[in-house]
Structure 1
Amino acid sequence: MRRYTRLTNEDRIRIDALRHLGKSSLQTSRELNISKSTVASVVKKQSTNVPKKKPGRKPTPSERDKRRLINMASNSTRTARGFAADCGFSVSKWTVARVLKSSHHIASQKMKSAPRLTQSHREKRLLFARNEMNKDWKKVIFSDEKKFNGDGPDLNHSYWRDLRKEPLLMSRGNFGGFSLMVWGAFCSDGTVGIQFTSCKMKSQDYQSLPGKTLVPFTNNTNKNYVFMQDSASIHATRSTLSYLQSNNIPLLSWPACSPDINPIENIWDVLVRKIYANGRVYDNVKSLRRAITMEWKSLLKKLCDSMPDRIFELTRKKGGCTHY
């Protein structure tokens, strides 16, 4: 009878095989020349089949806690630090970020800006879409204003930090920075033109913009263009409407709170990306103005072709916000 000898894997396999053949511990002990107590101990461990306890600390958070974090993050604007503080159990912001990143239902993305639409706005936008469903958009001149800052676009305060380098610092300029207000117009035939103006305009100031650009453009073409402008207060004054009428510029009735269906908004987005590429900033008005003028001339004007799709989506969403 072997005593005080470490069992091999072959011994354990033989004990298990004899156990399945119905052999008792005593019979197995005699047949394999192993003590009865050793055989009984091996049989007990094999029969209970208790899984080994995993080493290390208990994982946190639990599956229940993970589901709670995911539910908290559903369409929420809070940060990982905020979730860690409000979840009700001890967890770091890094763990919260890992949990949310591992979920197939949660993704971090920049929130799109959209107009705040009332029921009246939705009804008027839907009516506009139905009335203009078959319009020839190649005969429409789109216009809009855009403010450009010398020290970068508005709300551009986030970046991916390389921890091996010095952090970037946001500077608003020695005198609070400067801005340029730009009025632009374009149609399917290309850019109509841009004008630089004050950030605070009155009706008379605005009237000079289409007067310098739009009137010469329409006078030199055989097309019967229609002019599109939004419902800003200086656009809708009696003097502005009278000025456009006296210069034979017909207006397209445009619904309020509808920048998403104005294709020139996409042009501004392209222009901003080009002007401020690689974090570029400008020291003076002259250099910013030169950059805007140069990039404006290089833009391709194919956005008018998207108007039928914009109108269709506006109809499908019953006057609600489109994805444009």
Structure 2
Amino acid sequence: MGKTVDLIAVQKAIIDTLKQEGKTQKEISERIGCSQSAVSRHLSGKSVGRKKCGKKRCTTRRGNRTLRKIVEKDRFQTLGDLRKQWTESGVGTSRATVHRRVLLNQKQRQKRLTWATEKQHWTVAQWSKVLFSDESKFCMSFGNQGARVWRKTGEKEMPKCLKSSVKYPQSVMVWGAMSAAGVGPLCFIKGRVNAASYQEILEHFMLPSAEKLYGDEDFVFQNDLAPAHSAKTTGK
């Protein structure tokens, strides 16, 4: 995220606001998580190697004030959350911003395209037969690194800008499944997910979920190609 064109509207507005508050370019770059050169190029209005192009900056002083109020409601929001609320408040931010994309090789892209082409004409009834599943990790506490907080100079010790931390952060891994027919029970996983533990999840949680949601009807089970999911022993 080093170039000016990579900065989304929310970041640009925050840069302008922090600059007005007297923050240095280094402090601003650390606050929003981009390079110092990106901050410098935005503030100077310059771009590297080409004439400036694209839409003019869509933020106004009023829009910046609105953003500041949104930030003050919850100092620990992500940029994505800020952008969503800012847009909902009536600020016309552009969708032509940076998109986080998975790095794929040509073979992987072709597989995804083939899969999408095969499913493009599926009906609602067909999709309703799919049981989607995945695991996800949820953090219950923060360590020494803590969480990113949006604050102004002098607000370092404000209660709204502080979160408790522990030496050894706690997290929990959860497996779940859902479909148009409803959701299955959650499985709280201890340790890492390998082929053996994943097969136990399928036996004790996925199959009961499928029976509850579909009974004797046919269904399509979906999972990604994580090593534990695609292991030969899992596919048997």
Report if TM-score (shorter chain) is over 0.5.
Answer: yes
2:110 is the alignment partner of 1:123: yes
Structure 1 residue aligned with 2:219: 225
CA offset at residue 213 of structure 1? Answer: 1.9
Residues 128-172 of structure 1: CA deviation (Å, up to 9, x unaligned): 01112233110000001100111269x983333155642534654
In structure 2, do the counterparts of structure 1 residues 159 and 237 end up closer, same or farther at CA, with 3 Å as the change threshold?
same
Counterpart Cα distance in 1 of 2:163 and 2:99: 23
**Contact conserved, 2:173 with 2:190, CA < 8 A, in 1?**
yes
Counterpart Cα distance in 1 of 2:179 and 2:219: 9
Given residue 169 of structure 2, which amino acid in structure 1 is its aligned partner? G
2:228 is the alignment partner of 1:234: yes
- Aligned to 2:166, what secondary structure does the other structure show? coil
**Contact conserved, 2:174 with 2:187, CA < 8 A, in 1?**
yes
Given residue 116 of structure 2, which amino acid in structure 1 is its aligned partner? A
**Contact conserved, 1:184 with 1:195, CA < 8 A, in 2?**
yes
In structure 2, do the counterparts of structure 1 residues 158 and 237 end up closer, same or farther at CA, with 3 Å as the change threshold?
same
- Aligned to 2:229, what secondary structure does the other structure show? coil
Counterpart Cα distance in 2 of 1:156 and 1:118: 34
Structure 2 residue aligned with 1:210: 202
Given residue 166 of structure 2, which amino acid in structure 1 is its aligned partner? G
Which one of 52, 57, 74 corresponds to residue 5 of structure 2?
A: 74
In structure 2, do the counterparts of structure 1 residues 217 and 171 end up closer, same or farther at CA, with 3 Å as the change threshold?
closer
Return 5+ residue gaps in structure 2 as ranges.
16-24, 30-34, 47-53, 60-78, 81-97
Residues 255-311 of structure 1: CA deviation (Å, up to 9, x unaligned): xxxxxxxxxxxxxxxxxxxxxxxxxxxxxxxxxxxxxxxxxxxxxxxxxxxxxxxxx
Counterpart Cα distance in 2 of 1:129 and 1:96: 38
**Contact conserved, 1:150 with 1:177, CA < 8 A, in 2?**
yes
- Aligned to 1:180, what secondary structure does the other structure show? strand
TM-score by length of 2: 0.55
Structure 2 residue aligned with 1:196: 188
Given residue 188 of structure 2, which amino acid in structure 1 is its aligned partner? F
Structure 2 residue aligned with 1:6: none
Return 5+ residue gaps in structure 1 as ranges.
1-71, 243-324
2:148 is the alignment partner of 1:158: yes
In structure 2, do the counterparts of structure 1 residues 156 and 216 end up closer, same or farther at CA, with 3 Å as the change threshold?
same
- The higher radius of gyration belongs to 1
Counterpart Cα distance in 1 of 2:37 and 2:101: 29
**Contact conserved, 2:175 with 2:187, CA < 8 A, in 1?**
yes
Match runs of 1:245-260 below 5 Å: none
Given residue 73 of structure 1, which amino acid in structure 2 is its aligned partner? T
In structure 2, do the counterparts of structure 1 residues 124 and 143 end up closer, same or farther at CA, with 3 Å as the change threshold?
same
In structure 2, do the counterparts of structure 1 residues 73 and 113 end up closer, same or farther at CA, with 3 Å as the change threshold?
closer
Counterpart Cα distance in 2 of 1:240 and 1:204: 8
Residues 163-190 of structure 1: CA deviation (Å, up to 9, x unaligned): 564253465413x211100001000011
**Percent same amino acid among aligned pairs?**
23
In structure 2, do the counterparts of structure 1 residues 76 and 180 end up closer, same or farther at CA, with 3 Å as the change threshold?
same
Structure 2 residue aligned with 1:183: 175
Match runs of 1:237-316 below 5 Å: 237-242=231-236
Counterpart Cα distance in 1 of 2:210 and 2:36: 61
In structure 2, do the counterparts of structure 1 residues 208 and 97 end up closer, same or farther at CA, with 3 Å as the change threshold?
same
TM-score by length of 1: 0.42
Which one of 137, 148, 159 corresponds to residue 147 of structure 1?
A: 137
> How many residues are treated as equivalent by the alignment?
162
2:125 is the alignment partner of 1:138: no
**Contact conserved, 1:185 with 1:192, CA < 8 A, in 2?**
yes
Counterpart Cα distance in 1 of 2:36 and 2:209: 60
Residues 25-47 of structure 1: CA deviation (Å, up to 9, x unaligned): xxxxxxxxxxxxxxxxxxxxxxx
- Aligned to 1:144, what secondary structure does the other structure show? strand
Counterpart Cα distance in 2 of 1:173 and 1:187: 37
- Aligned to 2:176, what secondary structure does the other structure show? strand
Which has the higher relative contact order, 1 or 2, with Cα contacts under 8 A spaced 6 or more apart?
A: 1
Counterpart Cα distance in 1 of 2:129 and 2:232: 25
Task: Let me know the Cα RMSD of the aligned residues.
Answer: 3.9
